[in-house]
Each structure stands twice: as structure tokens, then as C-alpha cells.
Amino acid sequence: MELTLGVTFAVLGAGMLHAGWNALLKSAGGGDSLLDTATVVAGSTVCSLVALPFFPPPLAGAWPFVAASGVIHFGYYLTLAQAYRTGDLSFAYPLMRGTAPLIVTVLGAIFLRELPSAHVFAGILLISVGIIGIAFAQRERHPPAAAWWAFANAGIIGVYTLVDGAGARASGSAFGYVLYLTVIEGIVFLAWIHWRRGGAAVAYVRNQWRRGLVGGFCSVAAYGIVLWAMTRAPVAAVSALRETSVIFAALIGALWLKEGFGLARLAGAATVVVGVATLKL
């Protein structure tokens, strides 16, 4: 498997979509990060239901991965909501996304027997260092809870990335895998939200349906592209490459959410770019 130029550009596009839906989630004005997360999950579930007839279901060997990933993603959504409740987008997002590729690299070597070459490992390391540097670029003190929730989320990202990478390869259709996974995990998560919050959750999601559909579409499209890429290139390399979304998120945080950028973040972004170039050596 090789990280071709076409796959590289596709994953970079997925990174932009991923940053976009996370910015929509963080910028929601409702003040309830859990229900804001539910809004995007509802949107991704609806988008996936609409698209299901156009893609084949996963092959039998992929369904255990779908089931495992559905459980793991439940924890992902909970920790994501907590990370954004306690910290800025420009801190929590790069911290959890920058740590994840290193976890994926270790897990991929152990469970998928995908040992990265020297230049690929160097590229992954540069991307992660640059991304984490963007998180800590601001000099003000960040709440410790935001860092801990971000690290917890990074661990979950690493696990579900490995599971879904293997599942997509076994599915026969990466996009079919993503659609069925999104519907199943979405129904479970939304049922839990309704059990916890009742009618108030339904009203909240209904009022935010436009944001939910846009964010949900971006979420499904981004992950579908990433899993498709993992059927054609090493999981660790794709995982690191998609985290260039942090550069887009930092720009969105600075320009839209007024969270600042500065020279330190510029240096982090430059390190990420060098890491991407190193992947392609």
C-alpha cells in the first residue's frame, strides 16, 4: 500500500471537512455541548440514511468491526463534548487530534503489522509535534480538565481508527461501512440522549437542524474519505495526514471564533507542512 498523491489530496480535503464540523460544534450558541454534539450526530444519521440505498452493505466479516466501533464511538462523543465544554477549540482540538496519530502508529504496528518506514515515521512525528505545538501556542493557562478530556478523546480516536481501518478493508465498500456504522451508532447515541434529556433534547435538536445537517454531512463525508484512503494506504500515514485538519481548525478558531493565532501557531503549522512533505518523500 502506498500514499499516492491522489489519496493525499483526498485526505487533506477530508481534514478540511472535519475541521469545519468541529468548528460548527464549538461555535453553537446553545451552551450545552452534549446536545450540540447530539445535533451533529442526528444530522450525520439523517445524511447516512439518505445515502444508504446507493452503497452496498458491509460484507459479513466487517460487522464485528461495526459493532465494536459503535461502542467506541459512544465514548468518543461523550469525551468530545466534555473537551469542548472545558476548553477552546484551538486548544482541545489540536491536542486530541495531534496525539492520536502516535497512538495509531503504535497500535497499527502491533495489530496490523504495519511498520512505518523511517521517512513515514518521521512525517508522522513532525505532524504530531506541530499539531500539539499549535495546542499549547497560547500563553494563557488552560484548564487541566480540558487537557485530560482531550487526551482521553485521543486514546479513543486511536482505537476506533484502528478498528475502522481494519473494518473498512474487510467491508468491500468503505463508504458503505461508514454509512451503516453512522446510522447504528447514531441511533444508539440519540436514544441515550433522549433517555437522559427527554423532550428538551428533541426540541433542541429540532431548533438546530440546519447546523446539524451541515455538520453531519461534513462528518460523514470526511470519515468516508479517510476510511476509503485506509483501504489504499497505511492506516498510520492516513491518520497523521488527516490531522492536518488542525491547521484549518486553528485558522477557523482565529478568524471566526476570535481565539487568536500568532507566530507560535504559525511555527506549528509549518512543522505540520514539513511533516506532510516528509510523508511523500
Instruction: Read off the pLDDT of residues 69-96 as tens digits, 9 standing for 90 and up.
Output: 999 999 998 898 888 888 876 788 788 8
The reported pLDDT for the residue numbered 280 is 65
User: Is residue 188's pLDDT more than 80?
Assistant: yes
The reported pLDDT for the residue numbered 152 is 93
The reported pLDDT for the residue numbered 224 is 95
Average pLDDT score over residue span 96-101: 86
pLDDT, tens digit (0-9, with 9 covering 90-100), for 45-60 = 999 999 999 999 999 9
The reported pLDDT for the residue numbered 80 is 85
Q: Which grid coordinates are listed for 50? A: 439518505
DSSP string for residues in 83-133: HHHHS-HHHHHHHHHHHHHHHHHHHIIIII--PPPHHHHHHHHHHHHHHHH
Confidence of residue 244 (pLDDT cuts 50, 70, 90): confident
- Could you give the residue ranges of the DSSP H alpha helices within 108-259? 118-135, 144-171, 174-197, 199-207, 209-230, 235-242, 245-255
The reported pLDDT for the residue numbered 55 is 95
Confidence of residue 146 (pLDDT cuts 50, 70, 90): confident
The reported pLDDT for the residue numbered 273 is 81
Average pLDDT of the chain? 87
pLDDT, tens digit (0-9, with 9 covering 90-100), for 253-280 = 667 666 666 677 778 878 888 888 887 6
The reported pLDDT for the residue numbered 98 is 85
End-to-end CA distance of the chain: give it in Å, rounded: 15
Closest to 167 measured CA to CA, from 159, 175, 177, 158: 177
What pTM value is reported for the model?
A: 0.87
Place of cell 478540511: 16
User: Is residue 135's pLDDT more than 80?
Assistant: no
User: Is residue 126's pLDDT more than 80?
Assistant: yes
User: Is residue 143's pLDDT more than 90?
Assistant: no
Q: What share of the chain has pLDDT > 90, as a percent? A: 46
CA distance 241 to 105: 12
Average pLDDT score over residue span 119-139: 83
pLDDT, tens digit (0-9, with 9 covering 90-100), for 189-224 = 999 999 989 989 999 999 989 989 999 999 999 999
CA distance 137 to 260: 10
Q: What share of the chain has pLDDT > 70, as a percent? A: 91
